Amino acid sequence: MQSKDNKNSSFILFHQSINFFFDGVKYKGFKGDTIASALIRNNINFVGRSFKYHRPRGIYTCGIEEPNALVQIISEYGEPNTRATIKEIYEGMEVESQNRWPSLDYDFGSINSLLSPLFTAGFYNKTFMRPRGFWKKVYEPIIRKAAGLGKPPQPYRTKSTHFHHHVDVAIVGGGLSALLALKSFIGSEYQVLLIEKDSNLGGILNNSNKISKIFGKESSLWLKETLEEISTSSNIKILTNTLVTNYNYINHLIAIEDLVVGTKPLENIPDQVLHKIRADQVILANGHIERLISFRNNDLPGVMLASSFEKYIERYGVIPDVNPVIFSNNSSTLSLLKTLVDLSCKPQAYIDSRPGNKLEKDLLNVIHENNIPLFTNAKIEGCQGKKKIEEVSVRDSKGNITKIKTNKLCISGGLNPDVHLFTQSKGVLIWDDQYLTFKPDTPFQNTIVIGSAGGIFNYGDLGKDIDKKLKFLNLKQLGKIEFDLIESNDFFIEKLWEVKHEKKSPWSKSFIDLQNDVTTNDLRQGIKEGFDRIEHLKRFTTNSMGTDQGKISSINALGIVSEILKKKISEVGTTIYRPPYAPLSFSSIAGRNTYEFYDPERKTPIHEWHKKNGAVFEDVGQWKRPWYFESKPDESFEEAVQRESLHVRKYAGVLDGSTLGKIEIKGRDALEFMNLIYTNSFSKMKPMTARYALMLKEDGMVMDDGIVSKISNEHFIATTTTGGAANVLSHMEEFAQTEWPHLNVYLNSVTEQFCTFNISGPNSRSILKKVFKDINFDNQNFPFMTFGNYKYIDSKINILRASFTGEIGYEIYVSPSMALALWEDLFRFGEDHGLIAYGTETMHLLRAEKGYIIVGQDTDGSVTPYDLGLEWMIGKNKEDFIGKRSLSRPDTIRNDRKQLVGVIPTDKKNIIEEGQHIILSRNYKPPIKMLGHVTSSYMSPNLNHSFGMAVIQDGKKLINSKAYISSSKGESFEVEIIKPIFFDKNNERLMS
């Protein structure tokens, strides 16, 4: 039969029609409709294909618990797995069904249904194992094509934002019990935040007909008055359209708010808000969820949970079918029956698994008054139909089968308190024998659970229970609340998890997890194969592992398992519900922290000059550094680097080294501290001199290097690598505070206080002489590794004679405000001397020609100073420094450690590639012994051939011998192993 509008519903604006598209076909709904309610209004029930077998699936529920009706919103970046039961329609919305190809009606993948014996429990682990090699070539491509939920969305820039709340009380849920609790907070001293996932408050009052009057008033009137009363209280804040997804430690809640309910998201306007809530007290009032019953083909479109059916009538103004069949095992279906009858819709039959003499009087009265066919002590055994239910089979207590023609079957297998958030908070559950379900028992945090979420299903107890639980807050008491109910006061449920199959065919399946296509037989098979622990069985069968986490079926699975194992359900236990409660998109988590806001970009004061002069930048940590400079538009990376490298050694070049980390060390005990932190000894060092220094971790491995300048025994400045600055400072802080708190020493990052220019090359001295006319740069007066304080215009500067290129060179430290002026001055005076700006790649090439290491490129956290040939940097006479003792550990004094060497090709035409392996024979076939690998390699314009640095086993002993090196061409070639220094081996240029 057909659906019918229920114009009594006040939530749907029937005068405002909305056009939307489902799989390309235009339909009409009304303002307030969800995709699901609008489709039901149009008699569309078949909305998707299942995950594994591609069976036809329909709308099963009316809320967040929906396992089947997942759709893709084409008009919004193709967001997949959107619950049709939640998402409201808007004009022109485009919706597509999922898991079908080429179309919903003719789906190629439904062939999986015929292959279903292949897809039983554990199929991922077993079926595709043999024959060997088939996985990669045959199975995986097929599964990738067929499996999965929806397609990934298009890339887009999220406009969501984050919002932090700190409140005394957070109430999760906005239904009847939440509103009752909220009433008692009116005018109190507590700051209260209430979070409701629906756009309307009231829950069960809006979704069903169960409560007709409260204190003698129509329940809708009571709700209206209550909301007005609450709105006058300034201590209460309410978020609607907001779903709490996580309940973390120390009452930290994460909730996602939808700002575009019923409208298309607009450009540049936030569509979602991620709320981060910290509360002293959390009150969970998030209600309950109805569960299913498993029977043959319980997945056919047309099967729907009974309370959802009722919610469509009351909340969404559509009767999904005017003559459904109802199948229940408990008292909760009375209100649905009554609602239908009041709307002159006569159910085709009412089937109750409970014996006739135990049925509620009210229920029997409605049935008899309206001549509804009643089957007691009976069960739906199965249903038949192709893409929808056409007929259901009822089996009575004697085993007789009655067939009833219908398109809609409402089922109720009982009610579960929604315990997800409570278990996320690490609270412990207890089994309830009356309601046959788990309910919250002992909380771990400051958590109170009220209403049906707490297992209180009897409305008469509601007020008393809330008063008791909130007593410690000294609020107004609610007292007894008078309800007029269409609901039995004595809830009675008969245990029924699954109905036995009457007939067997490959297509007949009884599902326990609709989203993951897990059948009750899969559970049996899993247990038979030894997975008798519930957590193991879950992973083996994938039961309750879908995005709905088995919200309508997980208790049923426990029931079935407990019967197979002949254990109590409380002994079987439940799997742990994991956050999030429902999927939230990555875009909401990412918020505004995307693209240029993903990570700060740090630029030096010379950045704009670099840009104007053809710099191509590379990222070093957060810094943008010139990688190389294009001297003409079509110059390639290789050409530029070769040109810069030649030029610096011939004339002069300047590098913007402002990104280098700089740390100031001050205090009475600064000298002692420095001696402990670095391998070098600074005691005999003269003031105003500098030293190349090495820092180890306590395990003896090289951590960082840099230049330490000594101003006095109480004042040092240390440079660090660009990427290591933050680490080195926190390493120093840690030891200063925790191991040597008795030392008087203060550390300060001064990286941004100075810009650093590294000028080097044979002409650098004459250039500086022109820029700083009063400074004597002669070798005797300004030797290598000394520095001085000078003035540039009005600003203090520092010049240090040091070099990372092997040429004569100076580092100039200048305040950022004067940096660009000085940089431009350098070029004005340097023009005649051939000064160029060079980038990091040329710096790397030039330092490698000299065999200078880069920490993090030539080292990897497993390299000692000895491995690098840096013995000379170790203060032998020092009693102690970080890492010293580890340099005599059995592992660090091993003979066969990997050590740094240089490699050059015997045939100079060959090119050494970074990362290639050093081996001992020309012809190789894996596996082969590998001595080590190339850590740095470059084409040297100064040597006119390729060269590399490598760490290889026993490297020092192999110096002056020959070995082979692999290449990306698949052939090896011969290399000479030499000391890791390739250019100006006697440092004549450096000292000149």
Positions that interact with another protein (CB under 8 A): 248-250, 252, 278, 423, 426-431, 438, 441-444, 570-571, 573-576, 698-699, 730, 733-734, 737-739, 741, 879-880, 884-886, 889-890
**Nearest distance from residue 293's CB to another protein, in Å?**
23
**Nearest distance from residue 681's CB to another protein, in Å?**
16
Return d(Cα 866, Cα 883) in angstroms, integer.
13
Q: Which is nearer to another protein, 530 or 741 (CB)?
A: 741
**Nearest distance from residue 428's CB to another protein, in Å?**
5
Return d(Cα 905, Cα 908) in angstroms, integer.
5
| Structure token pair of residue 498 | 């699954």
> Strand 409-412's sheet: what is its strand order?
303-305, 409-412, 325-328, 349-352, 374-376
**Nearest distance from residue 258's CB to another protein, in Å?**
24
Length of the chain: 992
Going from the C-alpha of 737 to that of each of 82, 740, 742, 879, the distances in angstroms are 52, 6, 9, 21
Parallel/antiparallel/unpaired status of strands 325-328 and 945-953: unpaired
**Nearest distance from residue 617's CB to another protein, in Å?**
28
Contact 442, 427 (CB under 8 A): yes
Return d(Cα 118, Cα 755) in angstroms, integer.
67
Task: Identify residue 42 by its one-letter amino acid code.
Answer: N
Return d(Cα 269, Cα 258) in angstroms, integer.
12
Q: Which is nearer to another protein, 577 or 609 (CB)?
A: 577
Tokens 């967040």 belong to residue: 64
The HSE-up count of residue 806 (CA atoms within 13 Å, CB side) is 25
**Nearest distance from residue 279's CB to another protein, in Å?**
12
CB within 8 Å of 14: residues ≥ 6 apart: 5, 7, 30, 317
Q: Which is nearer to another protein, 279 or 671 (CB)?
A: 279
Alpha helices in 434-553 (DSSP H): 462-469, 520-528, 534-541
Q: What is the number of helices (H) and of strands (E) in the chain? A: 26, 52
Q: Which is nearer to another protein, 164 or 773 (CB)?
A: 164
Q: Which is nearer to another protein, 579 or 762 (CB)?
A: 579
**Nearest distance from residue 385's CB to another protein, in Å?**
38
**Nearest distance from residue 443's CB to another protein, in Å?**
8
Q: Which is nearer to another protein, 356 or 741 (CB)?
A: 741
- Listed residue (68, 76, 69, 73) closest to 95, CA to CA: 73
| Structure token pair of residue 617 | 């930048």
330-353: burial string, b at 16+ Cβ within 10 Å, e else: bbbbbbbbbbbbeeebebbbbbbb
Partners of residue 214 on adjacent β-strands: 217, 483
Q: Which is nearer to another protein, 161 or 248 (CB)?
A: 248
Contact 440, 288 (CB under 8 A): no
Return d(Cα 150, Cα 162) in angstroms, integer.
27
Q: Which is nearer to another protein, 50 or 892 (CB)?
A: 892
**Nearest distance from residue 883's CB to another protein, in Å?**
9
Q: Which is nearer to another protein, 69 or 558 (CB)?
A: 558
Return d(Cα 316, Cα 319) in angstroms, integer.
9
Q: Which is nearer to another protein, 438 or 682 (CB)?
A: 438
DSSP, res 264: P
Return d(Cα 381, Cα 288) in angstroms, integer.
26
Q: Which is nearer to another protein, 218 or 880 (CB)?
A: 880
**Nearest distance from residue 581's CB to another protein, in Å?**
16
| Structure token pair of residue 439 | 């309910």
Return d(Cα 893, Cα 882) in angstroms, integer.
17
Rg (CA), the chain: 38
| Structure token pair of residue 377 | 């002590």
CB within 8 Å of 525: residues ≥ 6 apart: 120, 121, 122, 541
**Nearest distance from residue 622's CB to another protein, in Å?**
16
Partners of residue 811 on adjacent β-strands: 758, 800
**Nearest distance from residue 276's CB to another protein, in Å?**
9
**Nearest distance from residue 741's CB to another protein, in Å?**
6
* Element (DSSP H or E) covering residue 110: none
- CB-based burial label for 272 (10 Å; 0-12, 13-18, 19+): buried
Q: Which is nearer to another protein, 391 or 734 (CB)?
A: 734
Partners of residue 76 on adjacent β-strands: none
- Listed residue (932, 928, 921, 938) closest to 972, CA to CA: 921
Return d(Cα 639, Cα 626) in angstroms, integer.
16
Return d(Cα 912, Cα 926) in angstroms, integer.
20
**Nearest distance from residue 174's CB to another protein, in Å?**
25
**Nearest distance from residue 430's CB to another protein, in Å?**
4
Q: Which is nearer to another protein, 105 or 752 (CB)?
A: 752
Contact 101, 151 (CB under 8 A): no
**Nearest distance from residue 417's CB to another protein, in Å?**
13
Q: Which is nearer to another protein, 394 or 453 (CB)?
A: 453
**Nearest distance from residue 665's CB to another protein, in Å?**
15
Q: Which is nearer to another protein, 169 or 351 (CB)?
A: 169
